[in-house]
Copies of this chain bind each other. A is one copy, B any other.
Amino acid sequence: MGISLGANQYGKAENRVVRVYRDTDRHELVDLNVSTSLRGDFAEAHVSGDQADVLPTDTQKNTAFAFAKRHGVSSPEDYAIALGRRFLEAAPKADSAQIRVEQYPWDRIPTGPNGHDHAFVRRGDGTRTTVVTVSDRGDAEHVSVISGLTDLTLLKSTGSEFKGYLKDEYTTLQEADDRIMATSLVARWRYANTDVDWNASYDSIRAALLAEFATTYSRALQETLYLMGTRVLETHDDVVEIRFSAPNKHHFLVDLEPFGLKNDGEVFIAADRPYGLIEATVARDDAPDAGDAWLAVPAFA
């Protein structure tokens, strides 16, 4: 009975590409972490060790850096699409190329009303991401774009409850009328097509997520995520689906009674582990089939 090679992919992960635009004295800085991978008929490389069809990961790296100049990085999505197409051109045995990009945000150092021309301070309030998959070539080409953000840490100091849940013999949790709710959000949203102003769309979706988190009363993190997703879909026609992975970063009220103190929602211990992990999808009922769009994307479903 046979044993065979199954699904496989290979590429170069975490190319730290920094692109400076310096055509004028006012520089622009684009700070990326780029990972590339190819899928296709690479059985020979595995089974016989023959590498003739393999575009080396070193070449993928070179291409990622060269394209930061040749094609530029007007947005991570635009750059990733160009890279994906290039790899399918360069590697005939590849069926698809997946490009994953993280973009780290920087601000201008505030030395005047518009910030400094070429000095920057890195901001840590979330990383912008995109995962672009280019499949096939020519008329059969399909490009899927799943953009998102990670490491966006949010907290509400009130406006959050958790009660009315199922109890069993292992239940000890007390119901909470008013608690801290905090998460380090991962969100990934799939676009219907590629005719998008990527930077404007990112800014708008990020703002919508923040605003919904802030302004809506929460009966559970599940409900809050659902509302955040709904708001994004309602206000962004080109987004067909959004997925969240949200740790419930517990802040436990500290018992100060032994010390004769009342703790009226004022002093908490922020716990590391364990944490709740809430994951949910919100999608349009008429969303086009995702195909392989989510393949190898860090997501729960």
A positions within 8 Å CB-CB of B: 1-22, 27, 29, 31, 35, 37, 42, 45-59, 61-63, 65-66, 68-70, 90-91, 106-107, 109-111, 116, 118-125, 151-159, 162-173, 180, 210-211, 213-215, 218-220, 222-223, 225-226, 229-230, 233-234, 241, 243, 247-248, 251, 254, 256, 258-259, 261, 263-286, 295-296, 298, 300-301
Copies of this subunit: 4
A236 to chain B, nearest CB (A): 11
Instruction: Report how far A2 CA is from B155 CA in the complex, Å.
Output: 30
A101 to chain B, nearest CB (A): 13
Instruction: Report how far A264 CA is from B68 CA in the complex, Å.
Output: 12
B259 and A121 within 8 A (CB): no
B154 and A66 within 8 A (CB): no
A154 is contacted by which of B62, B90, B120 (Cβ under 8 Å)?
A: B120
**Cβ–Cβ < 8 Å partners of A124 in chain B:** 122-125, 151
A274 and B61 within 8 A (CB): yes
Instruction: Report how far A261 CA is from B72 CA in the complex, Å.
Output: 12
Q: A119-B155, A215-B111, A284-B2 are in contact. Are A19 and B106 (CB under 8 A)?
A: no
Q: A51-B164, A123-B125 are in contact. Are A156 and B12 (CB under 8 A)?
A: no
Instruction: Report how far A233 CA is from B169 CA in the complex, Å.
Output: 42
**Cβ–Cβ < 8 Å partners of A111 in chain B:** 210-211, 214-215
Instruction: Report how far A9 CA is from B246 CA in the complex, Å.
Output: 11
**Cβ–Cβ < 8 Å partners of A12 in chain B:** 274-277
A218 to chain B, nearest CB (A): 8
Among residues of B, the one whose C-beta sits closest to the C-beta of A108 is: B214
- Report 25 cross-chain contacts, Cβ distance below 8 Å, ordered by A residue: A3-B230, A6-B243, A7-B281, A13-B247, A13-B277, A20-B180, A29-B157, A35-B274, A45-B220, A46-B222, A49-B220, A51-B219, A52-B165, A54-B220, A54-B222, A57-B277, A65-B254, A65-B267, A66-B256, A109-B154, A111-B214, A118-B159, A119-B156, A121-B152, A296-B300
B267 and A170 within 8 A (CB): no
**Cβ–Cβ < 8 Å partners of A62 in chain B:** 170-172, 258-259
A222 is contacted by which of B10, B223, B279 (Cβ under 8 Å)?
A: B10
A9 is contacted by which of B8, B258, B300 (Cβ under 8 Å)?
A: B300
**Cβ–Cβ < 8 Å partners of A210 in chain B:** 109-111, 121
Among residues of B, the one whose C-beta sits closest to the C-beta of A33 is: B273
A166 and B54 within 8 A (CB): yes
A170 is contacted by which of B66, B156, B275 (Cβ under 8 Å)?
A: B66
